[in-house]
């Protein structure tokens, strides 16, 4: 998926797919202007290795079916933490213990330090 595609279409596809496959604790973080990685980061959990893999595979198919291209994927074999790079949207699907350990959403949702010093 190229960066010129509509990121709102991509994020809707991602969130819909995650909900359909019963991913848990889905958090969407707007990272526009915070990172050149993409426009959104989505963090979700699966209940087990098998569920994480199923959620990731369902999402890859949904992105392809929506015409959003072939996303890059890492970690599918182990299915502890699967990273799916869909261009404008970066998706992390974790087993709950692994998600808690890395706590990505806390890091990305922290207020910008520059904004803090202005107040």
State whether residue 85 is helix, strand or coil: strand
* The pLDDT value given to residue 35: 82
Right CATH for 7-105 from 3.30.565.10, 3.40.50.150, 3.30.460.10, 3.10.450.50: 3.30.460.10
Q: Locate 60 and state its tokens.
A: 């890859």
Question: What are the structural domain ranges in the chain?
Answer: 7-105
Confidence of residue 4 (pLDDT cuts 50, 70, 90): very low
Confidence of residue 44 (pLDDT cuts 50, 70, 90): very high
* The pLDDT value given to residue 117: 45
What is the residue-averaged pLDDT of the chain?
88
Secondary-structure percent of the chain, ordered helix, strand, coil, rounded to 5: 40, 25, 35
Residue 48's CB: how many other CB atoms inside 10 A? 11
pTM of the model: 0.86
């Amino acid at each position: 998926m190229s960066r010129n595609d509509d990121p709102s279409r991509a994020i809707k596809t991602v969130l819909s797919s995650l909900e359909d496959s019963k991913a848990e604790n889905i958090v969407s973080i707007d990272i526009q202007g915070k990172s050149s990685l993409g426009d959104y980061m989505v963090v979700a959990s699966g209940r087990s290795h098998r569920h994480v893999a199923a959620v990731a595979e369902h999402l890859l198919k949904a992105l392809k079916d929506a015409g959003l291209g072939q996303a890059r994927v890492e970690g599918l074999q182990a299915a502890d933490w699967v990273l799916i790079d869909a261009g404008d949207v970066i998706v992390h699907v974790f087993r709950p213990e692994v998600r808690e350990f890395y706590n990505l959403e806390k890091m990305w949702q922290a207020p910008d330090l520059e904004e803090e010093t202005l107040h």
